[in-house]
Structure 1
Amino acid sequence: MNALALILARAGSAGVPGKNRADVAGRPCFMWSVDDARAAAGVGRVAVSTDDQRIIDRCVQIGVDSIARPPDLATDTAAVDDAARHAVGALGDPAIDSVVILYANVPVRPAGLIDRALERLVSAGADSVQSYAPVGKFHPWWTARIDEATGAVRPWEGDTLNHGVHRRQDLPPAHIPDGGVLVVTRRALMLEIPGVASGPHAFLGADRRGVTTRPGEVVDIDTPIDVLVADLILRERHAAGRGAIPAPSGGRCAP
């Protein structure tokens, strides 16, 4: 296997402006994903796709390939797979047979997660593998629709409220993608798997697998509170000796 770790780090963000280069535990946020990619035994090459010149400059400093992302692939409506296909094409390396997609706004993920996903991709012969976290008390069986005008609570179509379950312990296990890692084969990414219906997730192929994480092991930054949580976790890890905070190389990217 010749896996490319591709870190997606566009400049814009509605919730936390510049979040992909925001200071998290003393380093630009995207750098934590670079470290995770470099630490993965199954990754042969690391690259960053971005339209942010400050991130490109940092990539030059640390010796990581950067791909200048076109403006139309750097909007908040641009698809992840379109950006990934562009990056793979720009690198022009036919030996790449799988792509590890890492989101730059995820500075916290458990050690070994990338390799676990790659190993499952190979052992299962799957088209894609992504990480999932348990939903806990925010279970789909306990969701409902609320009429904003009247406050009336209604079940989803075909469901009953709470499915008759009133204790969290009685809920069946349910998981949701947590953004920690997404691995796809090159064939799946390039939409070359026969029989896969078109749609926003067609690039995941036909055989889709998962690896699980525990609650809190992955932090996806979408709000200012998430920045504080990630910063705290990374500093706690350093204090506990479970992974030192590397010294910054060059200046900080944060504004």
Structure 2
Amino acid sequence: MKSIAIIPARGGSVRVPGKNLALFSGKPALAIVLETVRLSGVFESVLVSSDDAEILDAARRTGAEPVTRPAHLADNITPILPVVQHALEAWKGNADAVCMVVPTAVFIEQRDLIRAGELLSTEPELDYVIGVKRFESAPQRALSMTPDGHVGMENRAAVDTRSQDLAPLFHDAGMFSFGRVAAWRRGVHSFLARTKGVEIERYRAIDIDTPEDLEFARAVYHWRKQMP
């Protein structure tokens, strides 16, 4: 199975300005992700889609293929799917599968990508393989809270069920989505398709959406670098 990676890394970020080039122990997030993607040996080509000249230059310096993203696909409301589709159309090669890798997924490891690629190549009925994270607390026992602070149970049927007796549930780990080209082009979302998940450990699945997330991710990254 011939696979390529597409890293969507636009220049703008409302909540965390410049987060795709944020430094982790002196190294930009995008560079860390690009290195892991390349060293995995899974992909024949690595594309970086961006509207930002600095990011596109960084991609060139690391051997990735830059794809200039048009303005209408570079705002903060555009979903990932049309961005991947645009990069696929701009690319001149042919592939069987595309792995979208989040540019701030600094904890992604080669084994994640290798495992996802193996699943997709050996199970032809699959459309996608994605990274998933287990909910830390059972969402079946979720509470809602009114503006004045009153709480209530969303699922009253689970009030007397111990958390350990509830089936584990998962959410997107914010790392990667490895799918067949046909599925990307059809526009089928991985959550609604024939999809398998690769579970990512809690401390590695840090989705950077706020400045607090960034500082926490930097602290964990530094901690991991100190581990023997």
Q: Same-fold call, TM > 0.5?
A: yes
Counterpart CA distance in 2 for 1:35 and 1:22 is 15
In the aligned structure 2, how far is the partner of 1:64 from the partner of 1:141?
Answer: 43
Structure 1 residue 32: deviation in Å?
A: 1.6
- Asked if the contact 1:108/1:220 (under 8 Å) is kept, the reply is no
Give aligned pairs, total. 226
Q: Contact 1:8 / 1:49 at 8 angstroms: preserved in 2?
A: yes
Q: Match of 2:14?
A: 14
Which runs of 5 or more residues in structure 2 are unaligned? none
User: After alignment, is 173-182 or 143-152 more displaced?
Assistant: 143-152
Q: For residues 173-197 of structure 1, what are the alpha-carbon distances to aligned partners after superposition, in whole Å with 9 as ceiling and x for unaligned?
A: 1111101221010000000xxxxxx
1:121 corresponding residue in structure 2: 120
Structure 1: gaps of 5 or more residues: 192-200, 242-255
Could you tell me which residue of structure 1 aligns to residue 204 of structure 2?
217
2:213, 2:195 → 1: CA distance? 29
Taking only the aligned residue pairs, the percentage that are identical comes to: 26
Match of 2:98 in 1: 99
Q: Indicate the larger mover: 232-241 or 21-30.
A: 232-241
SS at structure 2 position matched to 1:202: coil
C-alpha separation in 1, matches of 2:89 and 2:103: 20
Shift of 1:11: 1.1
User: What RMSD over aligned residues (CA atoms) do the two structures have, in Å?
Assistant: 2.0
Is the counterpart of residue 237 in structure 1 residue 224 in structure 2?
yes
Q: Secondary structure at the residue paired with 1:5?
A: strand
**Residue matched to 1:182:** 177
Q: Indicate conservation of the 8 Å contact 1:134/1:173, yes or no.
A: yes
Q: Residue deviations 1:92-112, cap 9 Å, x none?
A: 21x211111011122112341
How far 1:163 moved relative to its partner? 4.1
* SS of equivalent residue, structure 1 residue 86: helix
Deviation of 1:63 after TM superposition, in Å, equals 2.1
User: CA 1:161 to 1:180, structure 2 compared with 1: closer, same or farther past 3 Å?
Assistant: same
In structure 2, distance between residues paired with 1:48 and 1:186: 17
CA contact (8 A) 2:34 2:62 kept: no
Is the alpha carbon distance of 1:237 and 1:148 closer, same or farther for their aligned partners in structure 2, counting shifts above 3 Å?
Answer: closer
Give secondary structure in 2 for the equivalent of 1:164.
coil
Residue of 157, 162, 170 corresponding to 2:165: 170
CA distance in 2, matches of 1:104, 1:7: 6
**2:86: which partner in 1?**
86
Give, in whole Å, the separation in 1 of the partners of 2:28 and 2:41.
23
TM-score normalized with structure 2 length: 0.90
* Alpha-carbon separation, structure 1, partners of 2:60 and 2:109: 27
Contact 2:143/2:151, CA 8 A, preserved across alignment: no
- Name the structure 2 match of 1:36: 36
Q: Within 2, Cα distance between the matches of 1:170 and 1:154?
A: 18
In structure 2, give the amino acid aligned to 1:224. Answer: P
> C-alpha separation between the residues in 2 aligned to 1:100 and 1:113?
11
Question: Displacement of 1:206 after TM fit?
Answer: 3.4
Q: 1:228 to 1:111 in 2, by over 3 A?
A: farther
SS at match of 2:44: strand
Match of 1:247 in 2: none
Amino acid at match of 1:66: P
CA displacement, residues 96-150 of structure 1 (integer Å, 9 cap, x when unaligned): 111110111221123410111111111222111101111021x221213333257
With structure 1 as the length reference, what TM-score do the two structures score?
A: 0.81
Residue 23 of structure 1: aligned partner: 23
3-state DSSP of counterpart to 1:228? helix
